[in-house]
Amino acid sequence: MNELKAFIADNLSGFSPKAIPGFIFSFMVCAVLSFILGRLYVKYGNSLSNRKSFSRNFIVLAITTMFIISVVKSSLALSLGLVGALSIVRFRSAIKEPEELTYLFLTIAIGLGCGAGLTILTLIAFIGFMIVIWFNNRFQKDIETQNLYLTISSNAPASIDLKKIINELKKHCSSIKLKRSDENASTMEASFYVEFEDIEQLENTKNALKNIHPSVAVTFMDNTRDL
């Protein structure tokens, strides 16, 4: 019995029951803010990966970060142990877009702020984040209204030269960026980000690409992702 009391006393050392309401409040705020951040990422993100699937990690990451900070903030020994643990634990998943890393940092920042007991400050800062993201999105929509995702495919890869395609795009597009190129014995496909100043440039580009070879198929897709 004495051993059980000693065990409970050790686990509750440095913890006050009066802190429970504050912890619950911070936990709820952390979960809500990370959920809202996930919605913002789905709506305003430009990543080509599955944004809905990626955003599901935000809540778990934020509340996990909050719990870790809540545990170690009152103990120097635990803080040093955390540094050692982080030196060997790393994310193994590849970050495909810099934007993904930015939103991960924002998620961790939410967890850090709530875990450190600065919940109100975190809430104020998050409102600022939302305003910046919204204005940035509105500004980008004004300057990138003619940005499109272009896919070129053909079932005659031996007759299609990627260099010739790029040269034709350079003639008619304001800017181009090769994102992906796949080729095998039976098919060829290349994907680009392209920018046009007007609809005439788009039409000229489409006609020039189709003149390369009769088998060429051209697909333009809006890159703004307004839902």
CA torsion sign for 33, 107, 110, 224 is: negative
Give me the domains of the chain, ranges plus CATH numbers: 2-143 (no CATH), 147-222 (3.30.70.2690)
User: What is the rounded distance in angstroms from the CA atom of residue 217 to the CA atom of residue 83?
Assistant: 54
Long-range contacts of 121-128 (CB under 8 A, 24+ apart): 122/29, 122/30, 122/33, 123/29, 123/33, 126/33, 126/36, 126/37
> What's the pLDDT at 134?
83
pLDDT at 96: 58
Average pLDDT per 10 consecutive residues for the chain, totaling 227 residues: 56 62 88 92 74 85 86 63 54 63 87 86 91 79 61 82 84 83 84 80 83 83 55
Q: Is residue 148 classed as helix, strand or coil in its secondary structure?
A: strand
Q: Tell me the pTM.
A: 0.56
H/E stretch holding 178 reads strand 175-183
Judged by DSSP in three states, 180 sits in: strand
